[in-house]
Structure 1
Amino acid sequence: MKVFLRSLLAVLSVVSVAATANVLADAADKESVKAKIETTLKWRVDAIADSPVDGLLQISTENGLFYVSADGTYLLQARVYNLDEEMRNETETALSEMRLDGLKQFDDSYIEFKAEDEQYVVTVFTDTTCGYCRKLHEQIAQYNEEGITVRYLAYPRAGLNSPVYRQMVSVWCSADPKKAMTNAKSGSSVTPNSCDNDIAEQFRFGRKIGVNGTPNIVLSDGSIIPGYQPPEQLLSALKQIAG
């Protein structure tokens, strides 16, 4: 019996060492692929992990979610659907998790128009000069009446060296950001202001999670609506998510 136990322990030890070696090798391979992407494309890779598809790795970058072959040779921008799970969009599932997790970093940054009887909360990536962003803001009271709290994050479409970026910094740095937001979206002038702010981080995060225009509305489950939605249609979408 003792001989058997010693033999079993020896086998388990070998298996454990082999498993550890495989994990370390796998981690090393991922780091090698990460380094290649960052060196070749000059992109920042925030995370790299196995994907739902054998032979592909999933990478989260400053420019969005991509897939790369395990040897780092091929890069794919694609949507992965699971045929065994009613065509579940695996890419969107991953992005939704990234959005909800990443939004937490801006808890102190939102310009929020809160519903008195709050039932739902949405995050809107906005640009003070975009027509449909202005249309959405004109109806902010109606969204609130429907129980929808609207939180704004900045996404200056013209980039971080543009006049609209500077205007949005002034809005966020204003003594009354809500009033400044309303003034900017009505075409009124905004007093130039500056302060420590994370507008650039808001913009980069939006790009990372698939925002490529404004308004883009992040819903309570992390899904995103690219474009303007009237209050009643947005409420319907939120009710559907809530079940």
Structure 2
Amino acid sequence: MKFFLRSLAVMLGLVTVTATANVLADAADKESVKSKIENTLQWKIDAIADSPVDGLLQINTENGLFYVSNDGTYLLQARIYNLDEQMRNETESALAQVRIDGLKQFDDSYIEFKAENEQYVVTVFTDTTCGYCRKLHEQIAQYNEDGITVRYLAYPRAGLNSPVYRQMVAVWCSDDPKKAMTSAKAGSNVTPASCANDVAEQFKFGRKIGVNGTPNIVLSDGSVIPGYQPPEQLLAALKQIAG
């Protein structure tokens, strides 16, 4: 009996050592792939993890979510759907959580048009020169009346060296950002202003989570409605998500 117990202890010890070695090797492989991509593409990778598909790793980068083969040879930009779970979009599920977590960093940066009877909160990546962004803002009172609080983040579509970027910095640095936002979207000039701001970080985060146009509406569950939605349609979508 003692011999059996000693043998069992040795076997369990070998299993533990093997499992630990496998974990360390797996971590080393991921780090190797991460380094290869960063060095080859000059991308910043925020996270690398197993994907829902064997043989692929999931990487969260400054340019969005991608998949890469375990040996770091092949890079894919794709959507993964789970056929066993009613065509669940696994890629969108992963991005939704990135959005929810990442938006917290801008809690003090939003230009917010708050509903008095707030029932829902949406985050809108906006551009002051975008036609449909302007149309959305023209109806801001109706969104608020419907109980929808609108929080704006900046997404200057022309990039960080553009006139619209400088205008959006002026809006965020204005003494009255809400008034400046309304003026800019009405086509009026905004008094140039500068201050410590994170307009560039807002734009970069938008790229990271898949924003490629405006307006881009992020809902409380991390899902996205790309493009303009009239107040009644947005309200219906929010009610559906709320169940």
Q: CA deviation at 1:143?
A: 0.2
2:178 is equivalent to residue 178 of structure 1: yes
Distance 1:9 1:206 in 2: 53
The residue that corresponds to 1:48 in the other structure is: 48
Residue 112 of structure 2 aligns with an amino acid whose one-letter code is: E
Query: Residues of 1 paired with 2:90 and 2:98: CA distance?
Result: 13
- Structure 1 unmatched ranges of 5 or more: none
Q: Which amino acid in the other structure matches residue 11 of structure 2?
A: V
**Match of 1:33?**
33
> Per-residue displacement from partner, 1:7-62 (whole Å, max 9, x unpaired)?
22211111111111101100000011011111111111111000000000000011
Question: Which residue of structure 2 lines up, in the alignment, with residue 214 of structure 1?
Answer: 214
2:229 corresponds in structure 1 to: 229
Q: Secondary structure at the match of 2:235?
A: helix
Partner of 1:153: 153
Matched ranges for 1:1-243 at <5 A:
1-243=1-243
Alignment root-mean-square deviation, CA: 0.7
Task: Among all aligned residue pairs of Structure 1 and Structure 2, give the percentage whose two residues are the same amino acid.
Answer: 86
Task: State how far apart, in whole Å, the 2-side matches of 1:6 and 1:113 are.
Answer: 70
1:3 CA displacement:
2.6
Q: 1:2: Cα distance to partner?
A: 2.9
Task: Give the aligned length.
Answer: 243
Q: Distance in 2 between matches of 1:68 and 1:36?
A: 11
TM-superposed CA distance for 1:188, in Å, is 1.1
Deviations 1:146-172 (A, max 9, x none): 000000000000000001001100110
SS at match of 1:117: coil
**Per-residue CA shift, 1:96-137, capped at 9, x if unaligned?**
111011100100100000000000000000000000000000
Distance in 2 separating the partners of 1:93 and 1:160: 29
Structure 1 window deviating more from structure 2 (111-120 vs 2-11): it is 2-11
Q: Distance in 2 between matches of 1:56 and 1:189?
A: 50
Q: CA deviation at 1:6?
A: 2.1
Report the TM-score when normalising by structure 2: 0.99
Letter in 1 for 2:61: T
Cα distance, 1:199 vs. partner?
0.7
Distance 1:35 1:153 in 2: 32
Q: Which runs of 5+ in 2 are unaligned?
A: none
SS of equivalent to 1:232: helix
